[in-house]
């Protein structure tokens, strides 16, 4: 059917791009250590972009099996949308060979019967009951298989497939809470599920005994989860659309944006990475893109359109599904490890914060609530929460005094511990 659609498009005097995908998934919801809900989902469809006289039209259709009449109507509808569109059209990418990115597909997930995945979810709920103690546990388990491809009138013709598995746990113990999330490309055994439960329980236990901390100004060690929230505020400034529209603090690479201890990458080529892919939603090859190198801004995150507007090359960061046009996003965000051993750090540690969506990314000012932190003194751990970390993200990144050796992965974010100067109220 896709070949038929391509023939129809080639008969029109237009430039075009077709993005198709199909997939399936199974998800399981656990409430109070009991498997309460299971769901199977199947999806497929095509998104079509057409360039016509400098304007861009887009529409999509669900399913991958249609007769010629339906396909012709689909094409004509998209051309009509292009004729009345106010979205400028700058062209589509030309063919380039994508890298070979390993570890994105696991046959075990693809061929796993639904009954088997249901059984693993049952083992997960049983494990929760065995380990819960006085806590109450909820969580989820999900599996997915996805196939997708990009074709365009310039000769791009690519397709790929991937698998995924994710696990989450949420623990409540008195007034304390703890959570854990992780995603994978391959099937994990019960041992990994046990890690998830124990991590959530540990945080809930700390949280249950936590009290607000007195004021502090000085060294604070950020765990990866907390540092990710801070980086999220900064990242808004290096998305190509923000730069083009004047919503960024920066106008060109080369500026000093952080301490020389910080090196930050976006790496879509990471083997087995949760955010990895061989090519992006426009067919641009995946890249390992240095964003900040020893404190210096090296690149923006770009798709083909905004790279064209800015006179730059796409970094392969166009994210989409068949129902949407491409937008700029991250793949795997990697904070490079440093040379500091922060595993036995004593002082104030912040594990989790929230409220970053309220920050002003251009000014950098933020006020984040501490979900969980702890003070380590002489080997003793005293937890705290409900304080605020206030400050400016650019000042904080410039204050980085040490970056740990050991990297922790949470989904598509990889980072060691990072020591900064911060103010807690």
Instruction: Enumerate the domain spans of the chain.
Output: 2-205, 210-425
Phi then psi for residue 299, to 5 deg, are: -160, 155
Q: What is the pTM of this model?
A: 0.95
Per residue in 405-414, pLDDT tens? Answer: 999 999 999 9
User: Which CATH class, in words, describes the domain spanning 2-205?
Assistant: alpha beta
Tokens of 277: 């892919």
What mean pLDDT do residues 221-248 have?
Answer: 97
Q: What is the mean pLDDT of the chain?
A: 97
What mean pLDDT do residues 41-67 have?
Answer: 97
pLDDT confidence of 83, banded at 50, 70, 90?
very high
Phi then psi for residue 242, to 5 deg, are: -65, -40
Angle between helices 114-131 and 190-208 (to 10 degrees): 40
C-alpha dihedral sign at 302, 305, 310, 311 = positive
In this predicted structure, the answer to whether residue 379 has a pLDDT above a threshold of 90 is: no
What mean pLDDT do residues 76-98 have?
Answer: 97
Give strand ranges (E) for 250-401.
264-267, 288-293, 296-297, 318-319, 327-328, 333-335, 347-354, 365-377, 380-384, 388-392
In this predicted structure, the answer to whether residue 365 has a pLDDT above a threshold of 90 is: yes
What mean pLDDT do residues 126-136 have?
Answer: 98
pLDDT confidence of 197, banded at 50, 70, 90?
very high
Residue in the block written with tokens 């251009």: 362
In this predicted structure, the answer to whether residue 354 has a pLDDT above a threshold of 90 is: yes
pLDDT confidence of 12, banded at 50, 70, 90?
very high
Among 156, 339, 325, 306, residue whose Cα is nearest residue 238 = 306
Phi then psi for residue 123, to 5 deg, are: -65, -35
242-248 — which CB contacts under 8 Å span 24+ positions? 242/361, 243/300, 243/306, 243/310, 244/306, 244/309, 244/310, 247/361, 247/362, 248/362
pLDDT confidence of 343, banded at 50, 70, 90?
confident
As a whole-number percent, the residues of the chain with pLDDT over 70 amount to 100
Phi then psi for residue 199, to 5 deg, are: -65, -45
In this predicted structure, the answer to whether residue 279 has a pLDDT above a threshold of 90 is: yes
Distances (CA, A) of 311 to 156, 302, 318: 22, 11, 17
User: What pLDDT score does 215 carry?
Assistant: 87
In this predicted structure, the answer to whether residue 1 has a pLDDT above a threshold of 90 is: no
Question: Cα(331)–Cα(299) distance, rounded to whole angstroms?
Answer: 15
């Amino acid at each position: 059917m896709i070949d038929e659609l391509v023939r129809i498009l080639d008969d029109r005097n237009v430039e075009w791009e077709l993005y198709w995908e199909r997939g399936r998934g199974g998800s399981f919801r656990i409430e109070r250590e009991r498997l309460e809900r299971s769901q199977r989902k199947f999806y497929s469809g095509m998104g079509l972009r057409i360039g016509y006289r400098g304007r861009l039209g887009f529409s999509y259709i669900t399913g991958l099996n249609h007769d010629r009449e339906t396909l012709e109507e689909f094409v004509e509808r998209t051309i009509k949308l292009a004729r009345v569109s106010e979205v400028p059209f700058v062209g589509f990418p030309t063919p380039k060979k994508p890298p070979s990115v390993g570890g994105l597909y696991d046959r075990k997930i693809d061929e796993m019967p639904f009954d088997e995945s249901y059984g693993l979810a049952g083992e997960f709920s049983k494990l929760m009951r065995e380990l819960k103690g006085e806590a109450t546990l909820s969580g989820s388990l999900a599996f997915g298989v996805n196939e997708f491809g990009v074709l365009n009138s310039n000769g791009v013709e690519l397709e790929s497939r991937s698998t995924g598995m994710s696990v989450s746990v949420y623990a409540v113990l008195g007034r304390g809470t703890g959570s854990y999330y992780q995603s994978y490309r391959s099937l994990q055994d019960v041992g990994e599920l046990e890690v998830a439960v124990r991590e959530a329980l540990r945080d809930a236990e700390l949280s249950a005994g936590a009290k607000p901390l007195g004021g502090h100004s000085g060294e604070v060690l950020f765990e990866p989860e907390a540092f990710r929230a801070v980086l999220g505020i900064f990242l808004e400034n290096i998305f190509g659309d923000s730069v083009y529209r004047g919503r960024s603090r920066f106008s060109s690479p080369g500026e000093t944006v952080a301490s020389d201890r910080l090196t930050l990458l976006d790496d879509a080529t990471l083997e087995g990475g949760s955010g990895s892919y061989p090519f992006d939603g426009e067919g641009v090859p995946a890249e390992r893109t240095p964003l900040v190198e020893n404190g210096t801004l090296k690149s923006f995150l770009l798709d083909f359109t905004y790279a064209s507007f800015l006179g730059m090359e796409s970094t392969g960061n166009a994210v989409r599904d068949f129902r949407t046009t491409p937008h700029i996003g991250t793949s795997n965000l990697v904070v490079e490890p440093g040379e500091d051993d922060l595993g036995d750090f004593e002082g104030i540690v912040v594990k989790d914060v929230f409220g970053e969506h309220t920050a002003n990314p251009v000014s950098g000012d933020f006020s984040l609530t501490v979900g969980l932190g702890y003070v380590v003194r002489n080997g003793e751990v005293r937890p705290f929460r409900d304080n605020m970390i206030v400050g400016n993200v650019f000042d904080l990144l410039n204050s980085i005094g040490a970056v740990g050796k050991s990297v922790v992965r949470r989904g598509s974010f990889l980072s060691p511990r990072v020591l900064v100067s911060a103010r807690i109220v």
